[in-house]
Amino acid sequence: MVTLGIMNFGSCTLKEESEVVLVNADSLNTTLAVYNGREDSVLVYLTLGGGDDSTFVQDVKGIFGITQSGLVGSFYLHAGDTVFYQSSLKLSGNIGFGSQGVNCFTNEWPTGVNIFEFNLNEDQESMDISAMGGVNSLMIVQNIGGPMWAATPSFPDVRLYYNDTMWKNTNKLGVFPYGCTTCTDTIGKQACQTPNETPDSTRICNPTRAAGYRGGLVLLTFKGYTNTEICAPTK
């Protein structure tokens, strides 16, 4: 059982492992949660990878209360609300705020769209914030309970990471910079992703668990769109 409460980082509010909300987060499967840290509702898009067999979750219907069917669905998350999802099946996909992920800038999203990517309850769990196609929102990820999430030996247990605004995500833990197809290079990027951001100096953009380990809670927080203040822990 994981217990969540409220924690303040400067002007930002995050959930904390104490008080308030009880979540059934067991040691066998990893729970995914999304929290709206703003004062307005936000449109949330869930896109599933689907997988290639029945061991994967292959329909968004019912996840976070989504009513659509198929690999893509959306819902409005009200201010201050949190939604949870747990399954014994493998859960692979991504979450975007305001839009699905896009590869290139658009009129609606002139600095692109970033997404939270996840592979949960698989043989080896992994996740990241991808700003490879740009940035439209400020995301914070908290890993609460469960086994360690590693991003190189220098970061053996990643429990919190977040993205910054456009052009400011190089060497940010857990984040793929703009135009970077891996943490450290841009091989295969889209032509529209030019100029790209400087790749990371080490492979820190994809927190991963050791094979066979799962459990605990992955909490994605929406802190607003990129015309708002960047919310990061203060020292």
Confidence (pLDDT) at 131: 97
Asked whether residue 71 is assigned to any structural domain, the reply reads yes
Asked whether residue 235 is assigned to any structural domain, the reply reads no
Question: What's 83's DSSP letter?
Answer: E
118-151 pLDDT, tens per residue?
Answer: 999 999 999 999 999 999 999 999 999 999 999 9
167-181 pLDDT, tens per residue?
Answer: 999 999 999 999 999
Q: Supply the DSSP string of 65-81, one letter for each residue.
A: G----SSEEEEEE-TT-
Asked whether residue 35 is assigned to any structural domain, the reply reads yes
Asked whether residue 234 is assigned to any structural domain, the reply reads no
- Strand pairing partners for 44? 75, 97
Q: Any idea what the CATH number is for the domain that residue 13 is in?
A: 2.60.110.10
Domain count, the chain: 1
CA distance 99 to 110: 13
Its domain, for residue 141, covers: 2-225
pLDDT band per the 50, 70, 90 thresholds, residue 228: very low
Asked whether residue 232 is assigned to any structural domain, the reply reads no
